[in-house]
Chains A and B, each alone.
Chain A
Amino acid sequence: MIELREITKEYGKKDKIVAVDNVSLRVEKGEIYGIVGYSGAGKSTLLRFINALERPTKGSVHVDGIDLLSLSNKALRKARQSIGMIFQGFYLVASKTVYDNVAFALLAAGVSKKHIEEKVDHLLNVVDLADQKRKYPSQLSGGQKQRVSIARALANDPKVLLCDEATSALDPNTTKSILSLLRNINKKLGITIVIITHEMEVVKEICHRCAVMREGRVVESGTTFDIFSNPKDELTKTFIQNVLEFHLPDSLIDQVQGKLVKLMFLRDLATDSVVSDMLQRFKVKGNILHGKVEYIQETPLGVFIMDVSGEEAEVNQAISYLEKRVNSVEVINDGTHYQALA
């Protein structure tokens, strides 16, 4: 649906700043694609290539088979009508009512007055704001404003919806409801969605695939589950830490008697039986200190931290048993070592 090929964007003449550096990206039809990175990574610029708000210095942009960069102004306006966009700052017209804000997008596309009325009412129903249509943006909450802007973006039945940090200005609960609205839109209307964000939670919640950007380049990309369960780049690891990692208090680590292991279960949660099997087979004690199961795209990803104590040989055997049964075992702290020292 969307194809960016070898895109580079440079600013300035003398002291060139490379905002986007030779990026290629493909987003399939009906997909929700996330682009993650810190501010200044070039993700916002990358998103704006998809509706040609930004023109790359080099490279090509195709959306739904159309080469956007070759279009005349008029044809580009037409093409943009099938690419909706929402923003972190909502960008509603303060002097227009909710109704007129949505109607503007239809007016811009040359839809007749009669059809506009029907369509706006329908759209406001979709975003659950039918009762607010006579209000002005200043009278709405952040979440409601974003819903209006979603309605506006959907006005001309777009094939693609671009989201520029759409939830970054919202509180966690409102973020959840906007994300579930986006997920519904994707499922029911089959609209391809591209989201840029610095919040890994957003990616975890709704993106099928994602890319991680740093300094204008895509450093890692893949399905969201793969990125979460097996991150390769340091930046990716830092990002998912916010969602998956947890810290144990130092005092607790000091008290550990055996080996502190981190177990990771992917896709299949046979935790109980694996751990109890281990405890039955080996003469060790097991104590779960921390644990979390995240559902990424409805696939479970479990992480547990466990203190395995006993005789060192038994503990080692138990751990190698675990290594066979779970996806990843990592010894984070070897308490037996400290004991020996004492």
Chain B
Amino acid sequence: MMEHIIKLLPELNVAFFETLIMVGIALLFAVIIGLPLGVILFITDRGLFLENKWVKQVVGIIINLIRSVPFIILLVFLLPVTSLLLGTTIGPMAASVSLSVAAIPFYARIVESAAREIDKGVIEAAVAAGASPWMIIRHIVLPEAKPGLITGLTITAISLIGYSAMAGTIGGGGIGDLAIRYGYYRYDDTVMFTTVILLIVIVQLVQYMGDFIAKTVDKK
């Protein structure tokens, strides 16, 4: 059995980095696009400093739309877009397109709920001090929501690791793809268990790191 695993190592190594790339890129977009969207959802809410029913509604509906499509459908649905963007629908880069599209609204909602945990009074005090909306976002909302934002990023990362297995099935690569190819199609239990254990270890590590960082930045 050991031999079998050792023989598999190079492929496992490649798969591991493919997963890392897919999840990493999707997380990056979740932060670059999802975070601002989440902040917009929060600050345009009723009674807040940039209250705007229309913006909130439009952003909210788009986010719900994407989130209500099952990921496996989203994958197929986005193939033309991926092909247009990258010229291919195969490989981890291609898979990260649909993963990003799924991750952005997911994280945006998490950001919104993390921001809602902030005491409204703290924001009112900043408004009363004459701070601009940008000042309040940068110096009050983001720092105060930081532990929640980090916990949320951990949750997003772990969900993405799961999603990446699905993305693997349509040619994305990664650990999940390996598990399905060897484990499911070839009935190779050893590979299946090895990959599952590897995934468990990754998820545990991500969770542990996320909790640790969130705890360190929390000053409450």
Q: Is the CB of B130 within 8 A of A53?
A: no
A93 in contact (CB, < 8 A): yes
**With A104-B126, A108-B126 known to touch, is A94 a contact of B132 (CB < 8 Å)?**
no
Query: Shortest beta-carbon distance, B17 to chain A, in Å?
Result: 35
Q: Name the interface size band of chain B.
A: 20 to 34
Q: Is the CB of B130 within 8 A of A138?
A: no
Hey, which chain A residues are within 8 Å of B62, CB to CB? Answer: none
Q: Is the CB of B131 within 8 A of A104?
A: yes
Q: Is the CB of B140 within 8 A of A80?
A: no
Number of A interface residues, CB 8 Å? 33
The residue on B at minimum CB distance from A162 is B128
Q: Is the CB of A107 within 8 A of B139?
A: yes
A77 in contact (CB, < 8 A): yes
Pick from B124, B127, B131, B146: contact of A95, CB under 8 Å: B146
In the bound complex, CA of A84 to CA of B217 (Å)? 29
Q: Is the interface of B mostly helix, strand, loop or mixed?
A: helix
Q: Is the CB of A156 within 8 A of B122?
A: no
Hey, which chain B residues are within 8 Å of A91, CB to CB? Answer: 119, 121-122, 124-125
Q: Is the CB of B130 within 8 A of A77?
A: yes
In the bound complex, CA of A278 to CA of B122 (Å)? 61
A105 in contact (CB, < 8 A): yes
Give a binary string over A118-162; 1 marks a CB under 8 Å from any B CB, 0 the rest: 000000000000000000111000000000010011011000001
Query: Shortest beta-carbon distance, B47 to chain A, in Å?
Result: 11
In the bound complex, CA of A105 to CA of B132 (Å)? 11
Q: Is the CB of A80 within 8 A of B219?
A: no
Hey, which chain A residues are within 8 Å of B219, CB to CB? Answer: 94-95, 136-138
Hey, which chain A residues are within 8 Å of B121, CB to CB? Answer: 87, 89, 91
* A contacts, CB < 8 Å to B: 51, 53, 76-81, 83-85, 87, 89, 91-96, 104-105, 107-109, 136-138, 149, 152-153, 155-156, 162
Additional 4 contacts, C-beta under 8 A, given A76-B130, A91-B119, A108-B130: A77-B131, A87-B125, A94-B220, A107-B139
Can you show 13 pairs from A to B with CB atoms below 8 A apart?
A: A53-B124, A76-B130, A87-B121, A87-B125, A92-B125, A94-B144, A95-B143, A95-B144, A104-B126, A105-B129, A138-B219, A156-B130, A162-B128
